[in-house]
Chain A
Amino acid sequence: MKRAIALTINGVRVEAEVEPRKTLADFIREDAELTGTKLGCEHGVCGACTVLLNGEAVRSCLIFAVQADGAEIMTVEGLAQNGQFHKLQQAFWENHALQCGFCTPGFLMSSYALLQENPNPTEDEIREGLSGNICRCTGYQGIVAAVKSVAGSAE
Chain B
Amino acid sequence: MKPPSFEYFAPTTLDEAVALLAQHGDEAKVLAGGQSLVPMLNLRLARPAALVDLNRVTGLDYVRAENGHVVIGALARQRAVERSADVAARQPLIAAAIRLIGHPAVRNRGTVVGSLAHADPAAELPAVAVALGAEMVVTGPNGERVVAADDFFVSYLTVDLAPGEVLKEARFPALPPRTGWSIVEVARRFGDFALAGAVATLTLDDQGAASDVRVALFGVADRPVRVPEAEQVLRGERPDDDRIAAAAEAARAALVDPPSDVHASAAYRRHVAGVLVGRALREARERAQASG
Contacts from A to B (Cβ < 8 Å): 1, 3, 19-21, 23, 26, 42-44, 47, 50, 53, 56-59, 61-64, 66-67, 110, 113-114, 128-129, 131-133
Contact = CB atoms under 8 A, between A and B. Distances in A.
Contact of A20 (B8, B55, B103, B109): B8
Interface in B1-56: 1-8, 10, 34-35, 38-39, 41-43, 51, 53, 55
A64 B8 contact: yes
B104 A43 contact: no
Contacts of A23: 2-3, 38, 42
A44 B39 contact: yes
B106 interface: yes
Contacts of B262: none
A43 B39 contact: yes
B34 A43 contact: no
A19 B6 CA distance: 9
Contacts of B10: 66-67
A132 B105 contact: yes
Interface of B: 1-8, 10, 34-35, 38-39, 41-43, 51, 53, 55, 79, 102-106, 108-109, 190-191
B55 A132 contact: no
A67 B53 contact: yes
A106 B191 CA distance: 17
B4 to A, nearest CB: 7
A44 B108 contact: no
B38 A131 contact: no
Given A19-B5, A21-B2, A63 B34 contact: yes
B105 A20 contact: no
Contacts of A42: 1-2, 42
Contacts of A113: 104-105
Nearest to A21: B3
A131 B103 CA distance: 6
B39 to A, nearest CB: 4
A132 B191 contact: yes
A11 B8 CA distance: 27
A47 B105 contact: yes
B208 to A, nearest CB: 35
Nearest to A1: B7
Contacts of B7: 1, 20
Contact of A132 (B6, B8, B106): B106
A6 B108 CA distance: 22
B42 A56 contact: no
13 contacts: A20-B7, A44-B39, A44-B102, A59-B109, A61-B42, A62-B109, A63-B38, A64-B8, A128-B104, A131-B191, A132-B104, A132-B105, A133-B103
